[in-house]
Structure 1
């Protein structure tokens, strides 16, 4: 048994935010139908190398546990297929430019007339209201406009983006949360609703404590590099043989840190007695800690800190992450069957559930791989399918 049995999702998204959302729904057991134009229209299929069986690694990362259907939405027949599938769907999700679904006669208002229980989720750069509605949004520009780049990086580097598309990924997560909430609410009301997810809104929300600091103090946040705006010490330190992140979250942990590294004298220094004082005297404290920690070997210090209950960890590259026994124990690499390949390695799901377990039931599909299967399920005859193919509708 899966967590979302009998939930049917029409996925009209591409690239990252939408496909990430629908992959999570698929992992949870929803029947996700990935809709693309004939030949495939998800740009990420070509975002490589690396490739495996002519599909990019990028595409593979967000498209497992889906079936694939190709439809030309620029044709009346294609849009009519969507309307027919909507009758038995629980969710439809798209990330077309604002206004595209309305232009095609596939707006929430029109589709909800066909199925009043339909949950309609739109993901866009700036949402469906406001002066920037309709403008395209890609992750890097959203990180810039949403404030994230202004607090990421050091004074030396200047503003930098995060190394993975966090605006897209967080938008996908928020979309998933909203869809699950709407499905639950539907159990009481019997009605669907429209969800409007914006990458811009999501990025602002993800500023979290940094945004709160600004709203309360009025002070514009600065670049802190790998340091924390509210906690000291909370950053990487250089050791004899590499860098180790030390994350001290309270005064007790600071006391233990001083004891571990032989700086008990700091405990009597009023400049460092509380976190607020340590923030006030950040530079003085860090100069002392850096000089002392530089005399330690990374592994030795890490072992001592962990033993004392102080959060710490080495900066690992991706190879080291996937070779770590914790990664293996947590099943964060899974194997999936793949056409013309023995298998393909995918990142596992972080969702660990005791009864409704996550598993890879379907490989990331080829464009249109299940078109005939899906249309047959929805009452199309062999003759109708053949005609749709001939007319380049599917």
Structure 2
């Protein structure tokens, strides 16, 4: 097996069980390895440390499959890892409670570069690194056997594959396309899912619990949902008895999906919902001039900072949008504000929001810190897995 020899001192991150090995940590590769091949990882003194997947085109040159340097990486290995990930969700009651559940969450489930989301009897799979790309057949087979899913759609088309030197891969990997549009029941609300053309794997499952919190806060309140996509927060607000809900997105197709979702829920009062196709920043500035006010504002923008290199520019965007949000809140109103940017940590995000409140002249307090649900676990040795962070803030 090829051997990946580290530079002196670069083994410390592996002792902390961090699964990424960067280009700058590597002394040399002994032997030949193709993208995705398994390599033995050795300390500078030759001590075996782990077995990892080789990725010669990426700055992350290897991702650890196992810190057992004798582990056999084969089909059975992936069956065990998939089985363990599914079993953890089953033990928490998530598989029975929700149609939409993340089954595999990459590094935090011991499968770097693997994302699998279940929507009813359909699984959407993303393989974002060279290692899982090589083991596609084993991963698909394990998911099919261990979950009983009728079909698996591969959605390996994210930009990060380009950094790995991998071409996009999409299509039905197991089973056939369903005969009817795919939808899920999320906490009593019916929502459409487009695994082929929708964002991510078709939907934002990471916000499921936070959408339920919106429902719990919405009764009798005027709600503004910014960057609403297909209306998940909006519909939960309506289900919670909101007085009115204004939802904004710059995408006409996304808003069409939101209206379709509302139509699938005849128990919700469509007369209380308004949909606006507009740039959110511009729309909020118009609302400010018009002196419009809301009792509950949801700010769930797209990823402003995909990496730490973009953090400064992203910080300005987060500051701007939260400043506008604070200025539009009624006294006693709630701001639910989020960042899904890996380059913006929780501490920095809280500082940005605090600065926005000061500039808006609002006294405010954090009622709750918000994150993804338990089907999106964060391994203690892999803090990068905590990409979604949010705050529930109340103003005076």
TM-score range, shorter chain: under 0.3
Q: What TM-score do the two structures reach when normalised by structure 1?
A: 0.26
Return the structure number with greater strand share: 2
TM-score by length of 2: 0.26
Q: Compare CA radii of gyration and give the structure with the larger one.
A: 1
Q: Flag the structure with higher helix content.
A: 1
